[in-house]
Amino acid sequence: MSKKEIRGDLDGKGMKISIVVARFNEFITDNLLKGCLESLEMHGVSANDIKIYRVPGAYEIPLVVEKLAIQKNQSAIIALGAVIRGSTAHFDYVAGESAKIGNISQKYLIPVIFGVLTTDTIEQAIERAGTKAGNKGFEAATTAIEMISLLKKIDDGI
């Protein structure tokens, strides 16, 4: 029996991307945004097709993501934030709320990518924002492009 494996490509030409980025822990989220934009540019997404929405903290991300998803005019939405347990008494609430974007993705059938760091320490967050452990923002953008492409293939009956 022949098997067919389908995966998304990494050609971002023509894709329209919205980025929702939290200002809280801005020294981290700025680096996530930098990595995210680097990946989008590297994969051919036009600067004219990128919109950046700033929100106060990760807790506010889902509302703006849902507001954008409802418009149905974006290829994907990328959420960027940094929730650090060490300095957050209500870590679980903030991190848990930000993760609700998964439900929005499924409700509106649009890739919503979780580029929110949830770490125990500031050091871990720094590592994942472009130093030792890659850049989660870069990964989020690459994932967005791959998922847009994969969904399109399904739409095209591939």
Structure letter (DSSP) for residue 23? -
Is the CB of residue 43 less than 8 Å from the CB of residue 49? Answer: no
93-122 binders of ligand INI (CB under 6 A): 94
Decide if residue 33 touches ligand INI (CB under 6 A): no
Q: Does 65 bind ligand INI (CB under 6 A)?
A: no
62 belongs to the binding site for ligand INI (CB under 6 A): no
Separation of alpha carbons 130 and 95, rounded Å: 21
Question: Among 90, 93, 131, 133, which one carries the catalytic annotation?
Answer: 90
Of 103 and 121, the one with the shorter C-beta distance to ligand INI is 121
Catalytic residue list contains 90: yes
- Which ranges of 13-90 does DSSP label H, i.e. alpha helix? 26-42, 61-71
Say whether residue 88 binds ligand INI (CB under 6 A): yes
Closest by Cα among 76, 82, 77 to 95: 82
Q: Is 86 in the site for ligand INI (CB under 6 A)?
A: no
Q: Which residues are catalytic?
A: 90
